[in-house]
Amino acid sequence: MDRTAPMSMFDYDARPVTPLPVIVGTTASRGAYAIRDFLSRNGYPFEWVDAGQPEAVRAVLGVAEVEPSALPLCILPDGSRLASATVEQVADGLGMVAAPARSEYDLTIVGAGPAGLGAAVNAASEGLRTVVVEAVAPGGQAGTTSMIENLLGFPDGISGSELATRAVVQARRFGAELLLARPLAGVSADGPGYVAELSDGTLVRGRAVLLASGVEWRRLEVPGIDDLLGAGIYYGAGPSEALACTGSRVAVVGGGNSAGQAVVRFSRYARQVTLLVRGRDLGASMSQYLIDHLSAIPNVEVRVRTEVVGLEADDRLRALVVRSGDGEPVRLPADALFICIGGTPRTDGAAGIGLATNAAGYLVTGGDAAGDPGGSWPLDREPLPLETNMPGVFAAGDVRCGSVKRCAAAIGEGSMAVALVHRRLAEVGGD
Amino acid sequence: MTEPPAVANPEVAVPSEFAELASDERIAVASAALERNGIRPLLAATGADARGLVRSVLTDGAEVYNNTSQTLEAIGVADDIERSGRYQPLRLRLYRMDREMQRREMRTLAASPDYVVGSVHALTEDGSLLIASASGSQLGPLVSGAGHVIFVIGAQKIVSDVAAGMRRIYEYCYPLEDARARQSYGVPSGVNNILIINKVMTPGRVTAIIVNERLGF
The arithmetic mean of pLDDT across residues A314-329, rounded, is 94
B3 within some domain: no
Read off the DSSP letter of residue B58. S
Q: Coil, strand or helix: which one is A38?
A: helix
- The answer to whether residue B124 is domain-embedded is yes
Question: Residue A252: is its pLDDT beyond 60?
Answer: yes
Q: How is A180-196 classified by DSSP, letter by letter? A: -S--EEEEEEETTEEEE
Residues A145/A159, Cβ–Cβ less than 8 Å: yes
- Residue A26 and residue B82 in contact, taking contact as beta carbons nearer than 8 Å: no
Residue range A84-97, pLDDT digits in tens: 999 999 999 999 99
Q: Which residues pair with A345 in a beta bridge?
A: A215
First to last CA, chain A: 48
Give the residue from B60, B68, B72, B95 with the most A CB atoms within 10 Å of its CB, the best one to mutate.
B95
Domain-embedded: residue B8: no
Q: Out of A6, A162, A269, whose CB is closest to B102?
A: A162
Q: Strand B40-44 vs strand B206-211: parallel, antiparallel, or unpaired? A: parallel
Lowest mean pLDDT among A137-146, A288-297, A382-391, B202-211: A137-146
- pLDDT tens-digit map of A116-172: 999 999 999 999 999 999 999 999 988 888 888 889 999 989 999 999 999 999 999
Q: What is the mean pLDDT of residues B33-50?
A: 98
Q: A116 or B136: whose pLDDT is higher?
A: A116
- Please tell me if residue A16 touches chain B, with a CB cutoff of 8 Å: yes
When pLDDT is averaged across residues A344-361 and rounded to a whole number, the result is 90
pLDDT digits (tens, 9 = 90+) for A183-239: 999 999 999 999 999 999 999 999 999 999 999 999 999 999 998 988 899 998 877
What pLDDT score does B82 carry?
94
Q: A12 pLDDT band (50/70/90 cuts)?
A: low
DSSP collapsed to 3 states, B94-158: HHCCCCCCCHHHHHHHHHCCCEEEECCCEEECCCCEEEEECCCCCHHHHHHHCCEEEEEEEHHHE
Give the residue numbers in B contacting A (CB under 8 Å), as ranges. 1, 61, 66, 68, 72-73, 78-79, 82-83, 85, 88-89, 91-102, 104-106, 110, 134-135, 137-138, 181, 185-187
pLDDT over 90 at B98, yes or no = no
Strand B88-89 and strand A203-211: pairing?
unpaired
β-sheet with B193-197: strand ranges across: B158-159, B122-124, B129-133, B193-197
> Could you tell me which of B89, B88, B106, B108 has the C-alpha nearest to residue B98?
B106
Contact B64, B55 (CB under 8 A): no
Number of helices (H), then strands (E), belonging to chain A: the values are: 10, 21
Residue B128: pLDDT over 50: yes
Whether B78 maps to a domain, the answer reads yes
pLDDT tens-digit readout, A39-59: 988 989 999 999 999 999 999
Q: Is B159 a domain residue?
A: yes
Inter-chain contact A173–B137, Cβ cutoff 8 Å?
Answer: no
Residue B156 scores a pLDDT above 60: yes
CA distance A168 to chain B (A): 11
To 5 degrees, how large is the angle CA A17–CA A21–CA A22? 110
CA of B160, closest CA in chain A: separation in Å?
30
Please write the tens of the pLDDT for every residue from B72-93: 999 999 999 999 999 999 999 9
* CA–CA min distance B12, chain A (Å): 25
Reported as a single tens digit per residue, the pLDDT across A261-271 is 999 999 999 99
Q: How far out from the chain centre does Cα A95 lie? A: 20
A162 contacts in chain B (CB < 8 Å): 97, 102, 105
Average pLDDT score over residue span B106-113: 91
Is A9 close to B134, i.e. CB distance below 8 A?
yes
DSSP annotation string for B173-184: IHHHHHHHHHHH
Give the type of residue at B74: A
The verdict on a CB contact (< 8 Å) between B68 and A13 is: yes
Q: A155 with B43: CB under 8 angstroms?
A: no
CA gyration radius, chain A: 22
For chains A and B, CB pairs below 8 A equal 95
Q: What CATH number has the domain bearing residue B144?
A: 3.40.50.10420
DSSP secondary structure letters along A210-267: EE---EEPPPP--TTGGGGBTTTEEES--GGGTGGGTTSEEEEE-SSHHHHHHHHHHH
Mind listing the pLDDT tens digit for each residue in B172-191?
A: 999 998 888 888 778 888 99
Chain B residues whose CB is inside 8 A of the A44 CB are 96
Short-list A398, A423, A393, CA closest to A115: A398
Contact of A196 with A187, CB cutoff 8 Å: yes
Distance from CA of B122 to the nearest CA of A (A): 21
Per-residue pLDDT at A431: 54
| B68 confidence band (pLDDT: 50, 70, 90) | confident
* Cα A180 from chain centre: 12
Segment among A145-149, A290-294, A321-325 with least mean pLDDT = A145-149
Does residue B6 form part of some domain?
Answer: no
Q: By mean pLDDT, which of A295-299, A356-360, B31-35 is the weakest?
A: A356-360
Instruction: Write down the mean pLDDT value for chain A.
Output: 91
What homologous superfamily does CATH list for A225-339?
FAD/NAD(P)-binding domain (3.50.50.60)
Domain with CATH 3.50.50.60 in chain A: 105-217+344-428, 225-339
Let me know: does B139 contact B84? Beta carbons within 8 Å: no
Do B83 and A18 lie within an 8 Å CB cutoff?
Answer: yes
- Chain B: residue nearest A3 by CA? B185
Average pLDDT score over chain B: 91
Work out whether the CA dihedral B102, A343, A273, A320 comes out positive or negative.
positive
Q: State whether residue A162 is helix, strand or coil.
A: helix
The pLDDT of A321-336, averaged and rounded, is 95
pLDDT at A65: 86
| Interface contact flag, A265 B98, Cβ < 8 Å | yes
Please name the member of B72, B78, B185 whose beta carbon is closest to the beta carbon of A12: B185
Residues A67-77: pLDDT tens digits? 999 999 999 99
Q: Is B5 a residue whose pLDDT tops 70?
A: no
Query: Is residue B10's pLDDT more than 60?
Result: no
The C-alpha atoms of residue B108 and residue A348 are separated, in whole angstroms, by: 40
Packed helices A288-295 and A257-267: angle between N→C axes, nearest 10 degrees: 30
CB atoms B98 and A159 under 8 Å: yes
Q: Is A172 on the interface with B (CB under 8 A)?
A: yes
Give the per-residue pLDDT at B63: 96
**A283 pLDDT exceeds 50?**
yes
Comparing alpha-carbon positions, the chain B residue that sits nearest to A246 is: B100
Number of H helices, E strands in chain B: 9, 10
Taking the Cβ of residue A12 and every Cβ of chain B, the question of whether any pair is shorter than 8 Å is answered with: yes
Distance in angstroms between the alpha carbons of the first and the last residue of chain B: 22
Count Cα atoms within 13 angstroms, Cβ side, for B46: 4
Length of chain B: 217
Residue B99 binned pLDDT confidence (cut-offs 50, 70, 90):
confident
Domain count within chain B: 1
Residues of chain B positioned with their CB less than 8 A from the CB of A15: 91, 95
pLDDT at residue A336, rounded to an integer: 95
Rg from Cα positions in chain B: 17
Instruction: State whether residue A424 sits within 8 Å of chain B by CB.
Output: no
Q: Per the omega criterion (within 30 degrees of 0), is the bond before A68 cis?
A: no
Q: Which domain holds residue B67?
A: 16-211
B50 inside domain: yes
**pLDDT for position B3:** 35
CATH code of the domain occupying A9-93: 3.40.30.10
Pairing of strands A317-324, A306-313: antiparallel
Kindly give the pairing relationship between strand A393-395 and strand A130-133: unpaired
pTM, two decimal places? 0.87
DSSP 3-state percent helix, strand, coil across chain B (nearest 5): 40, 20, 40
CATH of domain A105-217+344-428: 3.50.50.60
Q: Which residues contact A194 (CB under 8 A, 6 or more apart)?
A: A108, A187, A188, A205, A206, A208, A209, A353, A392, A393
Name the percent of chain A lying above pLDDT 90.
Answer: 75
- Each residue's pLDDT tens digit, A355-381: 999 999 999 999 888 876 666 788 999
Query: What percent of chain B stands above pLDDT 90?
Result: 73
The answer to whether residues A387 and A211 touch, using CB atoms and an 8 Å cutoff, is: no
| Cα–Cα distance, A64 to A50 (Å, whole number) | 11
pLDDT at B185 (0 to 100) = 78
> Would the pLDDT of A278 be above 80?
yes
Asked if the model's pLDDT at residue B12 lies above 60, the reply is no
pLDDT higher than threshold 60 for residue B8: no
Residue B217 lies in a domain: no
